[in-house]
Amino acid sequence: MTFQKFLEILDARQVTSSQPHGNINCIFASDMMSEVLTLQETDIALLTTLNNLQVIRTAEMQDLACVCFTFDKTPSEDTVKLAQEKDIPIVCTSLCLFEACGKLYEAGMRGGKKRE
């Protein structure tokens, strides 16, 4: 799905001005960065409430399409700064994690799989 559609479905607002380099391939919802790092796909959109710098580092290493904070969680200033530096898109939605996942699933998005 396109980034614009993703934003529309979640009624999300952009926190940084970066855009993903392509479409969003699949979704992953987790606060465990360890798990995110085991995914085999690229261009994954991460839904999370974990508010620390390691979210951005994880996004950088795993080449995530974007990071979406749910339930109005606001990323810290340091997090936003690092994201801007590394050109990683951050967005925020008021929807809770469950609803956000539900809406994306309804729209045809599926989850990521572990690396073999």
Residues that bind another protein (CB under 8 A): 17-19, 21-22, 31-35, 37-38, 42, 50, 52-55, 57-58, 60-63, 78, 86, 115-116
Neighbouring C-beta atoms of residue 74, cutoff 10 Å = 11
Nearer to another protein, 52 or 74 (CB): 52
Q: Which of 96, 49, 54 is nearest to 74 (CA)?
A: 49
What span, in angstroms and rounded, lies between the C-alpha atoms of 87 and 66?
10
Nearer to another protein, 10 or 36 (CB): 36
Q: Is 37 helix (H, G, I), strand (E, B) or coil?
A: coil
Terminal C-alpha separation, the chain: 25
CB 96 → another protein: shortest distance, Å? 19
CB 78 → another protein: shortest distance, Å? 7
Nearer to another protein, 52 or 105 (CB): 52
CB 63 → another protein: shortest distance, Å? 6
Nearer to another protein, 11 or 78 (CB): 78
Neighbouring C-beta atoms of residue 101, cutoff 10 Å = 18
